[in-house]
């Protein structure tokens, strides 16, 4: 880390490279509220709390003009790839058919607000490891919602349900769907009399939570929203000092310094902190990791910088290790850390690594 938090240093956006992981699960990058680019409404305060399982954000907005401003406040999710879900586990709710997938709730000036939920389907652009996180929201891909509707395919994130419906299409419809880039059908070597063995859906589903909000002239509006955090992660291997390219990429991505690397090795069992001379030093170790991503730059759609920004991180268990590229982080509790900024304009998004032992005390 740029600033190590104590001795223990204490999200492919959807397909992280875990340090020597051999069993991982996909997840979602997280973000805050967006608004059409405006010079009329300023974000005076943002209090962002990120834990492994939950995210809560409290805002104070002020209309800096003499006229009321009304528009859509939007909470977007990144695309959820159906193809990826056919190939690996995902950190999503057990009930994939629930409309409010992340149990998102919002209040305005302390009162609950009715939130609409939209879904669209897109064909994402080719994978680019260096693609900024915010582009998942800004340019998610080609909209194929209407094309799926023609075949009676719902905008479900259940890969099992979707593949069953694709297999049930007529041969003519299957050929059309494949030609439109919606699906890839796989046939036996002998052709199988035109009957495919299986199919991969090629689109991704985007959920957007939104409501119409009026910001009265010259007035303050307080908005709070919270939702389930569903980051990617999985089994995590580490060696101290890190030498493999896979681990060195994590060092750069999460600003893992020497103290943090050692703490990760201790947490995952490669180092015995009670032994003299670290007889296990350099040995491989295995633990769990979460790759938490949060798109901060959506805040730049509001007028000016964030007047007061507060980030609270909770690493979960006391024996867990947290690392990220950030300045000014201080430890505030056994598992919590805080960073505070004034007149803050985010120039990069948050990428947070949390490493945990396979078994907690």
3-state secondary structure of 252: helix
Distance between CA 270 and CA 24 in Å, rounded?
Answer: 20
Residue 137's pLDDT band, with cuts at 50, 70 and 90, is: confident
Tens digit of each residue's pLDDT (9 = 90 or more) over 16-25: 333 333 368 8
pLDDT score of 307 more than 50: yes
94 pLDDT more than 90: yes
Calpha distance 351→236 (Å, rounded): 16
**145 φ, ψ (degrees, to nearest 5):** -60, -50
Rounded Cα–Cα distance for residues 141 and 135 (Å): 10
Contact between 183 and 201 under an 8 Å Cβ cutoff? The reply is yes
Four-way CATH pick for 24-144+203-356: 1.10.730.10, 2.60.40.3680, 1.10.12.10, 2.30.29.30: 2.60.40.3680
Average pLDDT estimate for 264-269: 87
Give me the residues paired with residue 215 across strands.
69
Band of the pLDDT at 88, cuts 50, 70, 90? confident
CA distance 102 to 146: 25
Beta pairing, strands 220-228 & 54-63: antiparallel
185 DSSP β-pair partners: 199
pLDDT for position 180? 96
Instruction: Find the length of the chain.
Output: 361
Instruction: List the domain boundaries for the chain.
Output: 24-144+203-356
Under a CB-based contact definition with an 8 Å cutoff, are residues 216 and 63 in contact?
A: yes
C-alpha 43/C-alpha 220 separation (Å) is 10
In angstroms, the Cα distances linking 315 to 68, 125, 187, 290, 359 are: 41, 33, 47, 10, 15
Instruction: Note whether 271 and 342 are within 8 A (CB).
Output: no
Gap between the terminal Cα atoms of the chain: 26
**Rounded Cα distance, 306 and 74, in Å:** 18
- Which has more confidence, 276 or 170? 170
DSSP 286: E
Average of per-residue pLDDT across 152-181: 97
Task: Give the separation between CA 84 and CA 342, rounded to whole angstroms.
Answer: 40
Distance separating alpha carbons of residues 340 and 327, to the nearest angstrom? 9
* 179 compared with 346, residue with greater pLDDT: 179
Q: Checking DSSP bridges between strand 142-143 and strand 30-31, what pairing results, if any? A: unpaired
How far is it, in rounded angstroms, from Cα 54 to Cα 143?
A: 30
29 and 11 Cβ atoms separated by less than 8 Å: yes
Tell me the pLDDT tens digit for each residue of 216-232: 999 999 999 999 999 99
Res 359 pLDDT > 80: no
| Cα Rg, the chain, nearest whole Å | 23
User: What's the average model confidence in pLDDT over 314-328?
Assistant: 95
């Amino acid at each position: 880390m740029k600033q190590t938090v104590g001795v223990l240093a204490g999200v492919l956006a959807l397909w992280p490279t875990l340090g020597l992981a051999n069993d991982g699960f996909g997840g979602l990058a997280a973000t805050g509220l967006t608004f059409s680019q405006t010079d009329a409404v300023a974000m005076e305060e943002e209090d962002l709390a990120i834990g492994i399982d939950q995210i809560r954000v409290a805002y104070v907005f002020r209309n800096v003009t003499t006229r009321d401003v009304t528009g859509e406040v939007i909470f977007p999710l990144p695309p959820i790839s159906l193809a990826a879900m056919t190939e690996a586990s995902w950190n999503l709710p057990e009930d994939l058919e629930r409309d409010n997938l992340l149990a998102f709730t919002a209040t305005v000036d302390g009162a609950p607000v009715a939130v609409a939920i939209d879904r669209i389907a897109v064909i994402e652009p080719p994978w680019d490891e260096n693609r900024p996180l915010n582009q998942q929201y800004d340019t998610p891909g080609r909209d194929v919602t209407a094309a799926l509707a023609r075949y009676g395919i719902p905008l479900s994130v259940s890969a099992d349900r979707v593949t069953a419906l694709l297999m049930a299409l007529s041969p003519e419809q299957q050929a059309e769907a494949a030609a439109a880039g919606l699906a890839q059908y796989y046939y036996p070597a002998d052709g199988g009399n035109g009957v495919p063995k299986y199919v991969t859906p090629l689109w991704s589903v985007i959920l957007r939570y939104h409501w119409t909000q009026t910001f009265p002239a010259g007035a303050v509006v307080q908005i709070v929203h919270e939702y389930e955090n569903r980051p990617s992660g999985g089994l995590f291997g580490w060696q101290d000092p890190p030498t493999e390219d896979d681990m060195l990429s994590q060092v750069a991505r999460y600003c893992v310094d020497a103290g943090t690397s050692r703490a990760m090795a201790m947490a995952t069992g490669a180092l015995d902190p009670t032994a003299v001379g670290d007889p296990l030093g350099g040995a491989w170790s295995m633990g769990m990791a979460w790759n938490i991503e949060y798109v901060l730059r959506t805040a730049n759609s509001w007028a000016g910088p964030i007047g007061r920004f507060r980030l609270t991180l909770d690493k979960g268990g006391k024996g867990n290790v947290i690392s990220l590229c950030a300045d000014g982080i201080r430890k505030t509790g056994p598992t919590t850390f805080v960073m505070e900024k004034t007149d803050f304009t985010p120039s990069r998004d948050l990428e947070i690594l949390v490493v945990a032992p396979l078994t907690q005390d």
